[in-house]
Amino acid sequence: MTNKELILSYLDEKYPDAYCELKYTKDYELLIAVMLSAQTTDKSVNEATAILFKKYPTCEELAIANLYDVQRIISHLGMYQVKAKNVIKIAQRLVEDYKGRVPNDPEALLALPGVGNKTKNCVLAELYNEPLLAIDTHMQRFAKRMGIAKDKDSVETIEKKYLEFIPQERLVKTNHQIIWFGRYFCKAINPDCEHCKLREICKK
């Protein structure tokens, strides 16, 4: 079995049903949740959005939300003041230009306030099953430990190497699996190396 086959089969074994852990019921809620998740845990985002989306249950209502109220609701998140402004601006743009829906268009998404490549890829992959990768800290750490990428590689380079490594038909699935693997098992500090079937090929 090649290293690639070993890695992919082990991910399937450990996390066959991995999914996006950000909670949402509408497409714009996912977009906002992903934007809020920058430098913040999904758990903290879910705590904030549970309150935010209950108080402002439609994109139209969020577009006219009180800035200071939004800041108060998400105040435990990193960079909350900037993020609060972006929440309202995103909602306004979606209402004005896309009838409150999230466009299936990379350039349109990148033009929204606070939306970068990672957020764009995550939203398109989750909502529209586009074969794209969201490269977060877990994805970066896994790539370097598994020898898929080098320590000095940029996020862009790591993404390119993953696209060569992971079969296209399972990109979205494997993205979630690696994030779960890094979040719950192969942690930055105190990874569970003793029980890991990949320890023989790990570069850590």
Amino acid at 99: K
pTM of the model: 0.93
Which residues of the chain are modeled with pLDDT < 70?
none
**What sign results for the dihedral spanned by CA atoms 101, 102, 104, 107?**
positive
Domains 3-18+132-195 and 27-128 share a fold: no
Closest CA to 163 of 134, 196, 133: 133
Closest CA to 31 of 84, 102, 125, 85: 102
Q: What are the backbone angles phi and psi of residue 157, rounded to the nearest 5°?
A: -70, -40
Q: State residue 120's pLDDT score.
A: 97
Write down the H helix ranges in 65-170. 67-73, 80-98, 106-110, 117-128, 137-145, 155-165
- Residues assigned a catalytic role: 118, 136
Domain residue extents for the chain: 3-18+132-195, 27-128
As a whole number of Å, the CA-based R_g of the chain is 18
Given the candidates 3.60.21.70, 3.40.50.20, 1.10.340.30, 1.10.260.40, the CATH classification of the domain at 27-128 is 1.10.340.30
Question: Environment class of residue 73 by beta-carbon count within 10 Å: exposed (0-12), middle (13-18) or buried (19+)?
Answer: buried
Q: State residue 100's pLDDT score.
A: 96
Q: Which CATH architecture has domain 3-18+132-195?
A: Orthogonal Bundle (1.10)
Residue 49 and residue 52: Cα distance in Å, rounded?
5
Q: State residue 204's pLDDT score.
A: 80
Closest CA to 146 of 69, 202, 80, 66: 202
Tokens 């200071």 sit on residue: 68
